[in-house]
Amino acid sequence: MNQSTVDMTCEHCEAFNEVSYSGLGVQSSGMVKCAVCAGELLLWKGTRDYNKAELKISPAKERILTRDEQHRATEFLFESARRRRKLLDTPEITNSPMLAAAQAEASAFERAAEFLMGCADNTGSA
Ligand SMILES: [Zn+2]
């Protein structure tokens, strides 16, 4: 019995599934469900017997940041906020419309950084 696999991207959740199949020798039919969302991945009919789908790559929208990625993104946002705050100390722009813009941007960057820090997977951290 020769077994092979076929890769399929779920049209419902975009998960990348791997489905194994083997030659059946007789006509049959069935349905393979996505390993992530259980949506219909494949409706088959013929002499290939398809098995369960296995997840190969998670849907992009559910990808979790690694600690390193999270750290770098947070640093970038804080650094951007620091630059805006520094701008606020520049006497030349005290009465300029740039002031309000820099202030709003600094706050937005800080809020984003804090949000990102809140997304930390804190399991196992000391
Ligand atoms: Zn799916």
Structural domain boundaries of the chain? Answer: 3-57, 64-118
State the distance from the centre of ligand 1 to the C-alpha of 58, rounded, in angstroms. 9
State the distance from the centre of ligand 1 to the C-alpha of 39, rounded, in angstroms. 5
Q: Beta-carbon neighbour count of residue 59 at 10 Å? A: 17
Residue 90's SS3 state is: coil
State the distance from the centre of ligand 1 to the C-alpha of 21, rounded, in angstroms. 19
Question: What does the mean pLDDT of the chain come to?
Answer: 84
- For residue range 57-91, what is the model confidence (pLDDT) as tens digits? 877 665 677 888 888 989 999 999 999 888 888 77
Rounded to the nearest 10 degrees, the angle between the axes of helix 67-88 and helix 97-118 is 160
Residue 78's SS3 state is: helix
Asked if pLDDT for residue 9 goes beyond 70, the answer is: yes
State the distance from the centre of ligand 1 to the C-alpha of 77, rounded, in angstroms. 33
Give the phi and the psi of residue 61 in degrees, each rounded to 5: -75, -10
The model carries a pTM of 0.46
Asked if pLDDT for residue 42 goes beyond 90, the answer is: yes
